[in-house]
Homo-oligomer: A and B are copies of this chain.
C-alpha cells in the first residue's frame, strides 16, 4: 500500500508536469524574465567591474569568477571552469598626428587593432597612401607603398539592410589589411573603423598577420577622423602621419570557459548548449558584445531552475573565452566534448547584441528547416517572427564536427555597429527588457527543441 501510494504519487507528479501545455510554460518563462532584476545586476557588474576583460587579462579572470558564482546562484546542478590557452596582448599608448605644411597638426582618434605589434618607442612618421581595396593596393605596388602608412578607407555600405553584411563587406581591411599592406613594404596601417556610424569612437578588433609576413603596426581611426584624414590628403598629398603604438604581444597564458549545467531528466548524455563570450575589447565595457549574451545564457539556467522546468536533455550555459582574438574557447569546448564522446544535439549562440528579440537562424535545410521554422507559432504571442535559415556563430561552430544543430539568436540588428568594439558599447546602451526578451526566447526555444527533438 505505501509502495503503491508512492508509485501513484510519482505518476501523478510526472503527469502533471508533462501535462503542462507548452504555451503555459513559455508564458511563465517570459513572465519571469520580464519581471526579475537578476540579469540587470549581472550585466552591470560584468560591464562596470570587469571592463578591460580581453583574453589573458586580470579583468577576464574576474569575469570568470563572477559568472561562475552567478551560475551557482542561478541553480545550475554543476558549474566548472574549462582551461583555455589565450593570447596576452596589451594596448598601451596610442597616438596619431597629422603633420602637414598645408594644414598644420591634427590629432586623430585611434585604437590599436587587437594583436597588433607596436611602433618603435619614439613612434614612426611616414607619408600616407589612401586605398579602398586590396586590388587598389596591388595596383599601387611596392613602388608607391614601401615605407608608407597605408590608410584603408572603404566605408561600410549603409544601404545593406543586414548590418552584418555591411560589416562583412568592409572588415577585411582590418583583419587582412595589415598583412596585405606589409607585402608591399608598408610601414604601418590605419583602418577606417568598421561601423555604420559617423562618430568619433574608434572601433578596434583583431588583425591577423599572415604567416611569413612581417607584422606591421595597425590601428583603427574613428569614421569622423577618417574623413578628416582623407580631406587632409586631398589638400596635401605629401602630409606625414606620426603614429605611436606601444601595444605588445606577450607569451600565451591561461584563462577559462565558464560552464553551468542542468542535468537532463531522461537523456543526460545529450546536450543543448547556449552561450555567449565573456571576453570583450579592452577599450569597451562590452555590454552588447557580449556581456549581454553571457547574462542571457545564465538566465536560461536561472529560468529553468526557478520555474521547475526540467529538460530531458542536459542544458549547458557556456561563457566562452577568447572569441575576440583567436577563438580558442569555442575550439576547446568542442574538443573536450569530442574527447568525452558527448552527444551535442543543438547549440545556440547569442553574439549579435542584445537588442529586442526578432528570432533565430538555423543552419539546417529541407524538412528539418521546415520543422524548425514551424516553432515560430509558439512565439507569435511575443511578436518574435523571424525563423530563418542562417548560421549559429563562431564559438559554437567547432561543434559542427559533432553534428550539432547550429542556431543563431537574432535580435534587432540595425544599431549594433554603433557600439561594437568601441567605447560606446556600454551598460547604458542596453535596455534590460530587450535583453530579457532574448533570455526568454532562448529558454523557450531550448524547451521546445527538447520536447520535439527536430
Contacts and interface: CB of A to CB of B under 8 A. Distances in A.
Interface of A: 30-31, 34-35, 37, 158-159, 161-162, 196, 198, 355-356, 358, 381-383, 385-386, 412, 414-415, 418, 431, 433-434, 437
Given A383-B386, A385-B385, A30 B161 contact: yes
18 contacts: A31-B159, A34-B159, A35-B159, A37-B198, A158-B433, A161-B381, A161-B382, A161-B383, A196-B433, A355-B356, A358-B383, A383-B386, A385-B385, A412-B412, A414-B433, A414-B434, A415-B434, A418-B431
A174 B433 CA distance: 23
A300 B277 CA distance: 41
Given A30-B159, A35-B159, A414 B431 contact: yes
Contacts of A358: 383
A433 B412 contact: no
Contacts of A158: 34-35, 433
A236 B383 CA distance: 44
A378 to B, nearest CB: 13
Contacts of A433: 158, 196, 414-415, 418
A124 to B, nearest CB: 35
Nearest to A31: B159
Contacts of A431: 414-415, 418
A415 B161 contact: no
A431 B196 CA distance: 11
Nearest to A357: B414
Nearest to A415: B431
A158 B198 CA distance: 35
Nearest to A34: B158
A40 to B, nearest CB: 9
B385 A386 contact: yes
Given A356-B412, A412-B412, A414-B433, 20 more contacts: A30-B159, A30-B161, A31-B159, A34-B158, A35-B158, A37-B198, A158-B433, A161-B381, A161-B382, A355-B356, A355-B412, A356-B414, A356-B415, A358-B383, A385-B385, A385-B386, A414-B434, A414-B437, A415-B433, A415-B434
